[in-house]
Structure 1
Amino acid sequence: MRALTRRGKSAAVRLYRGYNRRRARKAPPASIQQVKFLLLHANGMGGTIRTVFNLAGHLADRHDVEIVSVLREAEEPFFPIDPRVRFRYLDDRLAPSADPMRALLSKLPSRLVPKEESAYHRFNLWTDLKLARFIRSMDTGVLIGTRPGLVLAVAQLALPSVITIGQEHVALATQPEPVQKLIKWRYRRLDALVALTKADLQDYRDALPKKPKKLLRIPNAVPAMSGEVAKLDAKVAVAVGRLTRIKGFHRLITAWQQVAEAHPDWTLRIIGAGPQQEALAAQITEAGLDGKVELPGPTSDVGAELERASMFVLSSRHEGFPMTILEAMAKGLAIVSFNSPHGPKEMLTNEVDGLLVKPRTNANLAAAILRVIEDEPLRRQLAAGGLETVRGYDIATIGARWDSLLEALLARRTPAAAPNPLRPRTPSAPPAPR
């Protein structure tokens, strides 16, 4: 029986691949004119969304860019976006529907996204259907997935005529083992896999038995922010992020107890929203830190919050590539961060543009914060170092690397015309200015 099942699956795979090849033969030529990003919820809050919006705005200079959001659970995007970028929502959960098929499939669990994917609970059989239809509808252009569940679907379903890219925002080492197994099997089908850090790039090189056509690192670019550089005279430290356990804000609040005892005139502001909000508020009250630690909620103007502070603190258990560090650097803040290997360790140089602290050590975190508070020359030295470091992450620099990647992927798909031996070669025209 098992042998029959295996033969049946093998036959189905051959039929599927043959159908893909036939569709690819009829597809338009490979193109990078249309670029589409797949996001889980484009109207939500989070570093991945903000960085995708930033990159999409850059690419809109030369490409027709669309952000395709699996879900719509808010009326408008939380973050500002270039008006040239278009939006599409596959499952608009704000719109009422009398479709009995949608009602039925929305109650059934996803079969397309692995159960161990952190956002699995957001998917269902209806989103599977909408996502599969969208991916299969593309016969040319570029499709970029931005989280493992979506990248795995792209690798599995996209036609060979579509240029596919995985942009990973979370370190491979933090993914559950079943997800890692699928990554090792499917990611080889991608045209390119982009990691954000050198450490993660090396992890993919070591883990993938067969590599995508291009495996490379391109960090995120710092987005434009309102306001000016911080003056560093405010007695305020700020932390930014979704209020989840992984961000370690409970550790930061514990560390701040020691800070508040020595410097009761300093305030910690934790910007964000999330499932840990009530627990963190209770912890603040129990620790006697009301008025000294604030939870003002989320903001779409991160720059304004950073400008009113003098120090930025990152207390996460682990990070992929924390955009908040770049934003704090760009605003000229002194930075204190746990020394997470896949993000802060690469982004910061200890004692130059930030202070790196042994992870999950509340006392060491408190000591580093106190050092920055009590040593103003150090505070200004770290801030100046950050402003210098962040120059390498501007959108022009990072965007140019994406431009080069897209051109290289197109060149791989476009066979070079054979030169005519009877006619001399003529020099190519210079590229048009942007």
Structure 2
Amino acid sequence: MKIRYMLLHAYGMGGTIRTVVNQANAMACLGHEVEIVSVVRRRDAPQFEIDPRVTLRTLADQRDRVPEDSFGRRAWRRLRGRIVPHGEFAAGYFTEGVERAVMDHVSSLRDGVLVTTRPALNLISARRGHRSVVRVAQEHLSLDAYSDGVRHDIARHYGALDAVAVLTRTNMREFRRLFPRGPVVRIPNAVHAGHARPSRQENPVVVAAGRLVAQKGFDLLIPAFARVARRHPEWRLRVFGTGPKKAALGALIEEHGVGGSVELMGRSTRLQDELADASIYALSSRFEGLPMVMIEAMTHALPVVAFDCPTGPADVLTDGTDGLLVPPGDVDGLAAALDRLIGDRDLRCRMGAAAAETAGDYAPEVVMPMWENLFEELLAGRPPGGW
């Protein structure tokens, strides 16, 4: 079958990009004709390896100059209306030219499957895609993460799509409440464990990873770990990732006097080794879709301490079995959970073994057949299973 995946920026970094590239690669390995369509291009080369059997296309090459907002763009939106709502996190990418390029490309398609991967693209597919194309929207975040305007447009327009794929059972309930007449299916992201090396629980290291942005809650994790460090000065917190909050987080580390215990590690090409060499994974996010790095950590038999934020952690973890869940934003609770695991190696080993078993539910050989079956059902004109 012919499958097209549309990403905002296939050349960038991030969990959605990596997940979609992995899906495309897996489908190409299964013998399907696969294309990735990148709406914009701001780098010379993709940051994630793309199978040579996957075609990569760009709609707006912006390597020479990233366009800024302008009076013309604002006027165009007033006069022509907009498909991409203002509250969409990536709305700033959609200048007149970019939005038009996406609409023209989507409306030109007449066959195969089109998979779009964020609300802006899902809405364009719903409103401009041809009915001869099977249109599948992927949602990588909780509905609560979106503004009222985005949720309004989802409820109004997603009914034109053939399926909406969400990551967790909680997401599925949310979307079915907002979107009761549409086919909503749950397909989690696949995690490529490979030959994951299990943690030996020997190193006094807590690992966290993600973009240095407010969503990831590292400003909550640092003060929580500062309380732990007073009781366990030999332990270290290593935070992997880059982003606009780096300076503020560095200042927070100094404010709490944990410069010798907390490190902002930047981007790593050997994150899997760093996970295997750690003893605990911490997730302090304010909201998530399905936390991929957390599940990757679990493949290395790492127990998890996580805020019970919307929506991912509780859909994966069983509190007290493979990790510890803490009320969202509860810094004291996060510190207490970290302290509990740090002080009990046997508990870490038991929870880590359970975490590795849980992570098996997200292996590609479990997840990819779900996608293949969904596409085959929709191409045959049948409603997706489970709806």
Aligned to 1:208: 179
Aligned to 1:192: 163
How far the C-alpha of 1:177 sits from its partner, in A, is 0.8
Aligned to 1:181: 152
Indicate the SS of the match to 1:210.
coil
Aligned to 2:127: 156
How far the C-alpha of 1:315 sits from its partner, in A, is 0.3
**1:378 and 2:347 aligned:** yes
AA aligned opposite 2:169:
K
The separation in 2 between residues aligned to 1:321 and 1:220, in whole angstroms, is 7
Shift of the 217–318 alpha-carbon distance from structure 1 to 2, 3 Å rule, reads same
Is the Cα–Cα contact under 8 Å of residues 234 and 308 in structure 1 kept in the other structure? yes
AA aligned opposite 2:322:
D
Q: Of residues 320, 345, 361 in structure 1, which corresponds to 2:314?
A: 345
The structure whose Rg is larger is 1
**1:282 and 2:251 aligned:** yes
How far the C-alpha of 1:385 sits from its partner, in A, is 0.3
**1:269 and 2:269 aligned:** no
How far the C-alpha of 1:320 sits from its partner, in A, is 1.2
Shift of the 190–265 alpha-carbon distance from structure 1 to 2, 3 Å rule, reads same
The separation in 1 between residues aligned to 2:195 and 2:47, in whole angstroms, is 16
AA aligned opposite 1:171:
S
Aligned to 2:324: 355
Q: How many residues align?
A: 376
Shift of the 130–223 alpha-carbon distance from structure 1 to 2, 3 Å rule, reads same
How far the C-alpha of 1:106 sits from its partner, in A, is 10
The separation in 1 between residues aligned to 2:172 and 2:196, in whole angstroms, is 35
Indicate the SS of the match to 1:412.
coil
AA aligned opposite 2:19:
T
How far the C-alpha of 1:299 sits from its partner, in A, is 2.5
How far the C-alpha of 1:73 sits from its partner, in A, is 1.4
Aligned to 1:113: 84
AA aligned opposite 2:328:
P
**1:324 and 2:289 aligned:** no
The separation in 2 between residues aligned to 1:406 and 1:106, in whole angstroms, is 42
Is the Cα–Cα contact under 8 Å of residues 191 and 295 in structure 2 kept in the other structure? yes
**1:47 and 2:12 aligned:** no
Residues 306-334 of structure 1 show CA distances to partners (whole Å, capped at 9, x for unaligned) of 12211100000111111112101111111
Indicate the SS of the match to 2:192.
coil
How far the C-alpha of 1:70 sits from its partner, in A, is 1.1
The separation in 2 between residues aligned to 1:81 and 1:266, in whole angstroms, is 38
Indicate the SS of the match to 1:183.
helix
Shift of the 50–225 alpha-carbon distance from structure 1 to 2, 3 Å rule, reads farther
TM-score, length basis structure 2: 0.93
Percent identity of the aligned residues? 41
What is the aligned-residue RMSD (CA, Å)? 2.0
How far the C-alpha of 1:82 sits from its partner, in A, is 2.5
Aligned to 1:222: 191
**1:394 and 2:327 aligned:** no
The separation in 1 between residues aligned to 2:59 and 2:344, in whole angstroms, is 52
Indicate the SS of the match to 1:193.
strand
Is the Cα–Cα contact under 8 Å of residues 142 and 310 in structure 2 kept in the other structure? no
Residues 133-169 of structure 1 show CA distances to partners (whole Å, capped at 9, x for unaligned) of 2112211111111111110011011111111000100
How far the C-alpha of 1:226 sits from its partner, in A, is 7.1
**1:142 and 2:104 aligned:** no
The separation in 1 between residues aligned to 2:193 and 2:247, in whole angstroms, is 32
Q: Which deviates more, 237-246 or 58-67?
A: 58-67
Residues 349-371 of structure 1 show CA distances to partners (whole Å, capped at 9, x for unaligned) of 01111111111010110111011
Is the Cα–Cα contact under 8 Å of residues 230 and 309 in structure 1 kept in the other structure? yes
